[in-house]
Amino acid sequence: MLTRTATQSLTGQLADRFAERIRTRLLPPGTRLPSVRECARQQGVSPHTVVAAYDQLLAQGLVEARRQRGFFVRDAAPAPAPRPARAGTQAPAVPADASSLIRGMFHSHSDKPQPGMGVFPPDWMDSSFMPTSLRRLTGTRALQEISLQYGEPAGDGALRHSLSQKLMGINIPAGPEQIVTTVGATHALDIVSRALLRAGDPVMVEEPGWAIEFARLEALGMRILPVPRRADGPDLAVMAQYCETHKPKLFVSVSVLHNPTGYSLTPGSAHRVLQLANQHDFHIVEDDTYSHLAPEHATRLCALDGLQRTIYVSGFAKILAPNWRIGFLAAPPALFGRLLETKLLTTLTTPALFERALAWCIDQGQLRRHADRVRLRLDGARARTVKLALTHGCTFVSEPAGLFGWVDTGVDTDALTQRMLDEGYLLAPGSLFHARRPPSTLMRINFATAQDATFWKVFARVRG
């Protein structure tokens, strides 16, 4: 908060606050700053202070004044010229600053619980078995053997064997020779895109969906085809229309505990998606990032398809440790060579020490027991968060499930996000999960970090 006892003037404090948000893309190019009167009310300062702060931002080249419209964040670099669409198509464009927006989401200096974050709180991940598994490999000849060579190109053999057994448990038939380890699940998605696609190829992606996927594909030059996600699965009519008009090469789906809605695919919808893939000759990437939180009976495209047109992607950052960055993909034998070659061109190999340690955690049942404890704790947090959200005037667009809740606040959540930042809280506004970032009253909340009653009191006050 602005303070009159600081060595810096109120004008300087306010200008610096806006400047930091602009530079970290929490205020992306084109964003309209609050009016002078509204900003003065929000910050508890005089309109003169706001005008002086905005003048400083103008002098720094961070904002521009538009006659009778207000102050807007300037674009630091000219936007790239849009690629012409094919005749008869209406493929939507993706904002060029989407990846920067993601970086901004994780830029927070507050020690308060952050409902907009995408991971569990650190104390939920405090597991003694992880350092134990590493200690088993340090100070031994095995450590030297692992560290003094590149290791297996496809990944540590022990881990790939463990992952094969784990996939068999959810009816996905993948031998160790079909598995490639990666630096997290996002790296696995990137390997698939680079191996199977070329610039300009159309790709179907669920919407709402995670903005980093929109940004990643856009950065590779792909044409994004957003497919509305419903409770039972993707909108099949839209998919069929895309197939006829655009002939997509790939469909990326979070079929189980979809982010941000929490929806899970039904068997009927899954079968129809696979029929479309066979009929129109495209591959499906199933991102099962939340597999450790999912019910055992969850429908997975890869299980129904037997890894023919499907590629399975998952990782352990959500359930184990975000910084371990261990992910993997399981692919049809015909695609394995291309995917492995792409991995070698991007990272050579992956750290075998952590992979071998993770294999031990899986084989000893430590990871399974840890996941069971997290799911139980999450169930309690979800029940508390739902009650708080409903009490403070929110409604759930989808049935609460998994890690995230998809809620309607009744107000513009882009504007609400900026006001909540002043209170030390980071939100995930609904526009973040759409390719075109339209205004939205929705937001995604993390059930593990949104069970704090203080947050909801501040939320209700700021929302007004």
Residue 112 lies in a domain: no
Q: Give the count of beta carbons closer than 10 Å to the beta carbon of residue 46.
A: 13
If asked whether residues 374 and 351 sit together in one domain, one would say: no
Cα 430 to Cα 437: distance, rounded to the nearest angstrom: 8
If asked whether residues 225 and 135 sit together in one domain, one would say: yes
Which residues are 224's β-sheet partners?
A: 203
Per-residue pLDDT of the chain (464 residues; tens, 9 = 90+): 677 655 678 888 899 889 988 887 778 888 889 999 888 888 888 888 898 899 889 988 999 998 888 999 997 644 344 344 443 344 443 333 444 445 444 544 567 888 998 889 988 987 788 888 888 877 666 666 666 677 799 999 999 999 999 999 999 999 999 999 999 999 999 999 999 999 999 999 999 998 888 888 988 999 999 999 999 999 999 999 999 999 999 999 999 999 999 999 999 999 999 999 999 999 999 999 999 999 878 999 999 999 999 999 999 988 987 778 899 999 999 999 999 999 999 888 898 888 999 999 999 999 999 999 999 999 999 999 999 999 999 999 999 999 999 999 999 998 898 888 888 888 999 998 998 888 899 999 999 999 999 999 999 999 98
pTM for the whole thing? 0.81
Given 365, 400, 421, which residue is the final one in a domain?
365
If asked whether residues 268 and 324 sit together in one domain, one would say: yes
Hunting for tokens 């440790």 — which residue is that?
321
pLDDT in tens, 319-340: 987 778 899 999 999 999 999 9
Quick one: which H or E segment has residue 313?
strand 310-315
Given 318, 349, 365, which residue is the final one in a domain?
365
Name the residue range of residue 435's domain.
Answer: 369-463
Pairing of strands 404-408, 223-228: unpaired
Amino acid code (one letter) for 301: L
The number of folded domains in the chain is: 3
Which residues are 328's β-sheet partners?
A: 181, 314
Cβ-Cβ contacts under 8 Å for 159 (sequence gap 6 or more):
181, 326, 328, 355, 356, 358, 359, 362
If asked whether residues 336 and 409 sit together in one domain, one would say: no
Cα 424 to Cα 2: distance, rounded to the nearest angstrom: 13
If asked whether residues 375 and 348 sit together in one domain, one would say: no
Cα 18 to Cα 97: distance, rounded to the nearest angstrom: 18
Cβ-Cβ contacts under 8 Å for 178 (sequence gap 6 or more):
164, 307, 330, 331, 332, 333, 336
Residue 22 lies in a domain: yes
pLDDT in tens, 186-243: 999 999 999 999 999 999 999 999 888 888 898 899 999 999 999 999 999 999 999 9
If asked whether residues 188 and 328 sit together in one domain, one would say: yes
Q: Domain of 203: which CATH number?
A: 3.40.640.10
Residue 90 lies in a domain: no
Pairing of strands 327-330, 310-315: antiparallel
If asked whether residues 347 and 217 sit together in one domain, one would say: yes
C-alpha 129 chain-centroid distance: 27
Residue 102 lies in a domain: no
C-alpha 464 chain-centroid distance: 29
If asked whether residues 129 and 147 sit together in one domain, one would say: yes
Q: Domain of 14: which CATH number?
A: 1.10.10.10
Cα 131 to Cα 115: distance, rounded to the nearest angstrom: 28
C-alpha 135 chain-centroid distance: 32
Helix-helix angle 236-245:267-280, to 10 degrees: 0
CA distances from 422 to 42, 107, 110 (A): 9, 14, 10
Hunting for tokens 């103008």 — which residue is that?
58
DSSP 362-429: HHTTHHHHHHHHHHHHHHHHHHHHHHHHHHTT-EESS---SSEEEEE-SS-HHHHHHHHHTTT---EE
Helix-helix angle 211-219:185-196, to 10 degrees: 40
Given 73, 93, 114, which residue is the final one in a domain?
73
Helices (H), ranges, 125-199: 129-135, 141-147, 157-168, 185-196
